[in-house]
Amino acid sequence: MSSGKKMWSAALLATAVLAVTAACGSGSGGESADGKVKLRFSYWGSDARQKMTEEAIKKFEAKNPNIDIEGEFSDWASYYETLSTKVAASDAPDVITLEIRGLREYADRGTLADLASKVNTADIDAKVLASGAIDGKQYAIPTGVNAFSLLVNPSLVEGSGQKLPDDSTWTWDDYVDLASKITAKGGGKVTGTQLSWNPAYLQIYAAQKGESFYQGNKLGVSPQTIKDWWAIMQNLIKTKGAPDAAKSSEIGATSIDQSLLGTNTGAMGMWWSNQLGAAAKASGKDLDLLRMPKIQGATTGGMFLQPAMFYTASSKSEHAAEAAKFIDFMINDPEAGQIILSDRGLPASSKVLAAVKDKLPDADKKTLAFLDKVKGELADPPAAPPKGSSATEDILTRYSEEVMFGRMTPDDAAQKFITEVNASIAG
């Protein structure tokens, strides 16, 4: 996910939460000094996302002069820590942005309101909408859709004397080979690709082996699959197709605009498809999307459609109707869509997508064309994962780095990763 630049220290966060709690005492927005309804809206992202969101908020306020929206923006790294602290202090924002892996956790806490029939969802694909439902209640409305994909800079690939792959047939061995050749011809200035620890990558690879990422409240990925997945990364490091462990760890903690692809020092990388625009803007180059490579002989590519994020409402909001009205605006109003475009995924509302598709930047038009091309291959959006799964990425990153640095064997790391994730999601 894209990240901003603001970081809250624990002390500042605690002070802010205590101050807001003391001032409101209600766990929601309340009223402004002029008698208007005040709603608090939490979200994460880049500076660019903050700017466009504030513009959309102003548009909503102009149409609803009795409602003030107070945006509570943070960078990705601190978002859930900040949100968790507010929820624990009975100070949840009225409208909360969540991603799918945090959805069940907050729904099970009783934090979220059921939005069924409160927000117009007639123009959202039923399978996409279902990903925001838990136990028959529509706790979350998807903002837009995307797919975890491989992003590529064609000019750097071709500048190294290589050709873009046929992504309908290429394998992981082809990927490693291409990356290593790009580095070899890069003159020390260009690396083939960078490593990714995103669970979506492992989920795609596991699906190619016929395995589900989760099976109920247990991890469904086998130790052998995890070890084989790490072997791809080890081969990339060994062949210099990707940076060494130290550099990979360093750049893995940065946003996409600071990535190898974003700084024109790497030809490929894996991100969500809605991040193509941010990468293209950072690099100043024309970038493309490719299907993920496949295991030789795999009957499925493993890629899947997923909501980029969701809008949810606090179950304790004093202004539930107004919160639902704001969510409806952000999802269904073409004017909001023309501001936000594909920043939160290609719009989930088919009417909004139709209204904005001709106005999308070139990179977003590429994203739309790519998803249209591969939609018949994509698995349905997954259901919300088990409670506690929001910790999976951090756990996966930690053990992946242990293996890449050679501090732990793949056998030991795979077993410990599975044990730790299963403990986290046991419920």
Strands (DSSP E) contained in 99-189 are: 133-134, 137-138, 141-142, 144-152
The pLDDT of residue 43 is above 50: yes
- The residue type found at 51 is K
Is the confidence at residue 427, as pLDDT, over 80? no
Alpha helix ranges (H) inside 333-391: 334-340, 350-356, 362-374
Considering only CA atoms, give the Rg of the chain.
22
Residues of the chain with pLDDT > 70: what percent?
Answer: 92
132 close to 138: Cβ distance less than 8 angstroms: yes
Tokens 């990714």 appear where? 196
Question: Model confidence at 46, in pLDDT bands (50, 70, 90)?
Answer: confident
The 3-state DSSP class for residue 396 equals helix
The confidence score (pLDDT) of residue 30 equals 65
Region for residue 219 given its phi and psi (left: phi exceeds 0; alpha: psi -120 to 50; beta: otherwise): beta
Residues of the chain with CATH 3.40.190.10: 10-143+308-372, 147-305+388-425
Residue 256 Rama label (left phi>0; alpha psi -120 to 50; beta): alpha
**pLDDT-derived band at 145, boundaries 50, 70, 90:** very high
What pLDDT, in 10s, does the model give residues 97-128?
999 989 999 999 999 999 999 999 999 999 99
Q: Per the structure block, which two tokens stand in for 79?
A: 């978002």
Is residue 8's pLDDT more than 50?
no
Domain 147-305+388-425: homologous superfamily in CATH = Periplasmic binding protein-like II (3.40.190.10)
332-381 tens-digit pLDDT: 999 999 999 888 999 999 999 999 999 998 999 999 999 999 999 999 99
| Mean pLDDT of the chain, nearest integer | 91
52-59 mean pLDDT: 98
User: CATH: 3.30.565.10, 3.40.50.20, 3.40.50.720, 3.40.190.10. Which one for 10-143+308-372?
Assistant: 3.40.190.10
Whether 23 shows a pLDDT value over 60: the answer reads no
pLDDT, tens digit, 9 for 90 and up, residues 171-211 = 999 999 999 999 999 889 999 999 999 999 999 999 999 99
pLDDT for residue 28: 53
pLDDT at residue 33 in the model: 60
Q: Residue 289 pLDDT > 90, yes or no?
A: yes
